Amino acid sequence: MSCLAKNVIVFGATGQIGKLVLKELASSNLNPTAVVRSTEQEKSISSISSQITSAKLALDNASVKDIARIIEGHDAVVFTAGSAGKNLLQVDLDGAVKTFEAARIARVRRLVLISALHADDREYFSKSPLHNYYIAKHYADRILINEFQDDLDFTILKPTTLTDNEGTGKISIIGAKEGLETSIDRIDVARVIVQILNNAQTFGKSYNIIQGDSDIKDPTIFK
């Protein structure tokens, strides 16, 4: 992987995927910045690696200018923030869109968004107990694709059901209607994020990812 994007800011850094992303970034000799809400979160993040810096911000209440201010000076944005169903409109939807707008203001083009498998399939998610979660993901994805195509070099990752095993280092990229009974380890999602950061062939694309047979480190799988 080249080092075009070396300074990476992570929204959702205190979440399960976010912490793994920070660790993977640090171990790849990149410079991660963790967005945190409190001093307590800041302390918990600092224990992961001395390479990690932090920026305090409450995404649900922050203005676009506030967000742009902490994005400035970075090379890439990773958005894996989520409210676990508690604040879907303010965090999962509006928080994401504010971050897109802020990245544009800060002139940081590279952005990786973590969405969810089937977020583009209303027929599927209208029957899901996570209906509102999928709605938030659906419209965040649509806004990114429809309104920021010219301003951001984005990639949308749509992992299937998340699990907490050790990871295999291998995934499969599947079609939109596949993957109903699948899973993927969070650590492998984090590894994918780091691997695609500087892969220009992923710009402007979405990927549905599950545990599979293709080596995450093989750039040719992201066609």
What is the CA 201 to chain-centroid distance, rounded? 17
pLDDT digits (tens, 9 = 90+) for 154-187: 999 999 999 999 999 999 999 877 767 799 999 9
Domain that holds residue 155: 7-221
pLDDT of residue 221: 96
Work out the pLDDT band at 194, boundaries 50, 70, 90. Answer: very high
CA distances from 138 to 9, 120, 158, 193 (A): 23, 6, 11, 20
CA distance 40 to 53: 14
User: Considering the chain, what is the average pLDDT of its residues?
Assistant: 94
Contact (CB, 8 A) for 136 and 171:
no
Query: Could you tell me the pLDDT band of residue 1, with boundaries at 50, 70 and 90?
Result: very low
Residue 1 lies in a domain: no
The CATH number of the domain holding residue 94 is: 3.40.50.720
Total domains in the chain come to 1
Residues taking part in catalysis? 133
Residue 130 domain-assigned (yes or no): yes
Mean pLDDT confidence for 5-25: 97
59 within a domain of the structure (yes/no): yes
Instruction: Indicate whether 24 belongs to any domain.
Output: yes
What count of other Cβ atoms lies within 10 Å of the Cβ of residue 155? Answer: 25
pLDDT band, very low/low/confident/very high, at 3 (cuts 50, 70, 90): very low
